[in-house]
Amino acid sequence: MYPKVSVIIRASEKCTYLSQAIESVTGQTYPNIEIIIADEYAHLAGRAESPEAIIEKYSRLCDIKYLSGASSLNAAIEKSTGEYTAFLEESGEYFNQYLECHLKFMMMHKLSFSYSDTSKFIKGGKSFHTKISDNITDWSADTMFRNHIAIGISPLSSFMFRRDFLIEIGGFRNAGSGRNYMLVYDAIEYNRTHPEARLGYFPCSYISFNPDVNEKPDSAQRIKNENELYAVKLAGAEKLDNEDKKYIDFRHYAVLARIASQDKNTKETIKNLFKAFMISPDFTLTQFKKVRPD
């Protein structure tokens, strides 16, 4: 009646929000959950509190496992025992009905993978961004692909998979930039030849993020990540029409302009904004304010 859901929480470098993330899972209205902490940063020193110590506080509330190492996300998938798998970045929190509602949606539509909207907050609780896939008109592989290749389907914390499907597509390809992006890409591509592995979009926001500006990657790393992701998108763009390809190019330079603006680098902001405008004045005027670095 209540299939088990394995929630894989990806620990951050500092474990700043790990307690909050765990509490948001143990406080779910859904009764059959296991938690697996995937810690890729176990080798780092300087953490205020170890993940093991944090986990010990909650071990009586829920079945919690701990895995460390560079491939800990894939190891967590292998070690999971739930029929369904959900993910949570440490800086995120589930609203208490999230798993119950998302799982009902998955089961109702017999989905192998779906994703939801998310909200982000700055300190003080003010919302500054809600990611809404309002351009999803259907759940076909073509529509999902166009949305994903051009914009990027919502973050890891919004994903829910049937575990058998997640294993079938091979889990995460690597530990590098674009890992989450490629996971969804592989799910969509698998659906093209296996239409029984259905995809879906859950149009609700039951997840919030509390980003700490001190834990954001520096500008150089964010630019590197964007350039690597852009290269991945270009590799898949051959299946898109010219307008979609144009949007990929526009968005790349718009993201670089945003990063430069946040870094107060006026020269780079103007240079990349000009490139975005030259690709498409229309996109620049109508879409630029909506573009945010992932």
The arithmetic mean of pLDDT across residues 216-243, rounded, is 83
Instruction: Tell me what the pLDDT averaged over the chain comes to.
Output: 87
The answer on 254 and 125 residing in a single domain is no
Q: What type of residue sits at position 65?
A: K
Q: Which domain holds residue 51?
A: 5-214
Amino acid 291: pLDDT = 76
Q: How confident is the model at residue 98 (pLDDT cuts 50, 70, 90)?
A: very high
Q: Does the pLDDT value for residue 175 go beyond 90?
A: no
Buried b (16+ CB within 10 A) or exposed e, 178-188: bebbbbbbbbb
Of 199, 214, 229, the residue at which a domain comes to its end is: 214
CATH of the domain at 179: 3.90.550.10
Amino acid 213: pLDDT = 44
The arithmetic mean of pLDDT across residues 162-183, rounded, is 88
Q: Does the pLDDT value for residue 121 go beyond 90?
A: no
The answer on 268 and 206 residing in a single domain is no
Amino acid 229: pLDDT = 85
Domain count, the chain: 2
Q: Which of 180, 259, 267 is nearest to 227 (CA)?
A: 259
The arithmetic mean of pLDDT across residues 105-120, rounded, is 91
Of 194, 214, 234, the residue at which a domain comes to its end is: 214
Q: In this structure, are residues 37 and 65 in contact, taking their beta carbons and an 8 Å threshold?
A: yes
Q: In this structure, are residues 22 and 68 in contact, taking their beta carbons and an 8 Å threshold?
A: no
Q: Does the pLDDT value for residue 285 go beyond 80?
A: yes
- Give the dihedral sign, CA 252/258/263/268: positive
Amino acid 176: pLDDT = 63
- Quote the radius of gyration of the chain (alpha carbons, Å): 19
175/73 Cα distance (integer angstroms): 9
Q: Does the pLDDT value for residue 214 go beyond 50?
A: no
The arithmetic mean of pLDDT across residues 85-95, rounded, is 93
Q: What burial class does residue 283 get, using C-beta atoms within 10 Å of its C-beta: 0-12 exposed, 13-18 middle, 19+ buried?
A: buried
The answer on 206 and 98 residing in a single domain is yes
Amino acid 208: pLDDT = 83
CA atoms within 13 A on the CB side of 35: 31
The arithmetic mean of pLDDT across residues 65-80, rounded, is 93
The answer on 226 and 189 residing in a single domain is no
Buried b (16+ CB within 10 A) or exposed e, 251-269: bbbbbbbbbbeeeeeeebb
pTM for the complete prediction?
0.87
Strand 113-121 with 33-39, pairing:
unpaired
95/115 Cα distance (integer angstroms): 15
Amino acid 119: pLDDT = 73
Q: In this structure, are residues 95 and 17 in contact, taking their beta carbons and an 8 Å threshold?
A: no
The arithmetic mean of pLDDT across residues 255-270, rounded, is 93
Q: How confident is the model at residue 167 (pLDDT cuts 50, 70, 90)?
A: very high
Q: Does the pLDDT value for residue 191 go beyond 60?
A: yes
Amino acid 275: pLDDT = 96
Q: In this structure, are residues 37 and 64 in contact, taking their beta carbons and an 8 Å threshold?
A: yes
Amino acid 132: pLDDT = 63
The answer on 165 and 276 residing in a single domain is no
Least confident range from 121-135, 182-196, 223-237: namely 121-135
The answer on 194 and 133 residing in a single domain is yes
More confident residue, 159 or 220: 159
| Per-residue pLDDT tens over the stretch 19-65 | 999 999 999 999 999 999 999 888 877 777 788 888 888 888 888 99
Amino acid 136: pLDDT = 79
CA angle 20, 122, 131 (to 5 degrees): 90
Q: Does the pLDDT value for residue 211 go beyond 80?
A: no
Those residues whose C-beta lies under 8 Å from the C-beta of residue 70, and which sit 6 or more positions away, are 40, 175
The arithmetic mean of pLDDT across residues 241-257, rounded, is 92
204/106 Cα distance (integer angstroms): 13
Of 185, 214, 243, the residue at which a domain comes to its end is: 214
The arithmetic mean of pLDDT across residues 263-291, rounded, is 91
